[in-house]
Structures are given as structure tokens and as C-alpha cells.
């Protein structure tokens, strides 16, 4: 867990924020795509695809990354509580900004189309 956690907290705050925005945007997209998918297998595939993209791109997601950093903290792998809180704050802010931006953009598009 230590290597994973160090890989997440070892970035500057602005990188965690920017990466969190992308992850939040993808999670917002995920919620729209799951609702749009009609079949259960389609919904599972959409969740899997977004999860793979977030994982392969090493994006900072507050829930998944927070659990990994917390595990690194509890394992005593050189992660401090300050590292954990800094990661959680910036990743959560980024996730919220990314998700809100996507939802606002889509709703604006629906209103404009009337």
C-alpha cells in the first residue's frame, strides 16, 4: 500500500486538483451513461470502462484514492495524516468541480435546446 499511497500524495496540490477535476468529470459522465444505458450488462460495461480509464490514467479520485492513502497511513509506510488530509481535500475539491461542471454543462445544453 505504501508505494500506491506515495504515488498518490507525491504530487503537487495543483496536480491532484487537476487530476481530481478529470476524475470528477468522468464520474459525472458515468452517472449520465448508467441512466442512459437500458440493459444491465450495458450499465456494467459503462461502469467498468470509466473505472478502467480512471485507473489507467492514474487520476485522483477522493473515495478510491482516499482509501489507498489511508491504508498507506495505517501501514506505517511514510504517509502522514497531513499527507492524507491534503490529498483528500484537493482530490475532493477537484472531483466536485469536475462533476458539477459536467452536470451544469449538460443541463445548460438541454435548456438551450428547449
What is the predicted pLDDT for the residue at 108? 83
Residue 56's CATH number? 1.20.1080.10
* Cα distance between the two ends of the chain: 50
Show the domain range for 38: 2-113
Nearest to 109 by CA among 30, 40, 32: 32
**CB of 79 within 8 A of CB of 6?**
yes
Note the pLDDT tens digit of each residue in 65-75: 999 999 999 99
Domain count, the chain: 1
Top-confidence residue, 112 or 39: 39
Q: Which of 62-66, 72-76, 86-90 has the highest mean pLDDT?
A: 86-90
Amino acid at each position: 500500500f505504501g508505494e500506491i499511497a506515495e504515488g498518490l500524495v507525491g504530487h503537487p496540490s495543483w496536480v491532484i486538483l487537476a487530476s481530481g477535476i478529470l476524475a470528477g468529470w468522468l464520474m459525472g459522465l458515468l452517472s449520465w451513461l448508467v441512466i442512459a444505458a437500458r440493459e444491465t450488462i450495458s450499465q456494467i460495461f459503462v461502469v467498468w470502462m470509466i473505472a478502467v480509464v480512471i485507473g489507467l490514467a492514474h487520476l485522483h479520485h477522493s473515495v478510491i484514492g482516499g482509501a489507498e492513502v489511508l491504508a498507506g497511513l495505517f501501514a506505517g509506510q511514510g504517509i502522514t495524516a497531513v499527507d492524507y488530509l491534503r490529498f483528500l481535500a484537493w482530490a475532493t475539491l477537484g472531483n466536485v468541480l469536475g462533476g458539477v461542471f459536467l452536470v451544469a454543462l449538460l443541463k445548460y445544453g438541454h435548456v438551450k435546446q428547449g
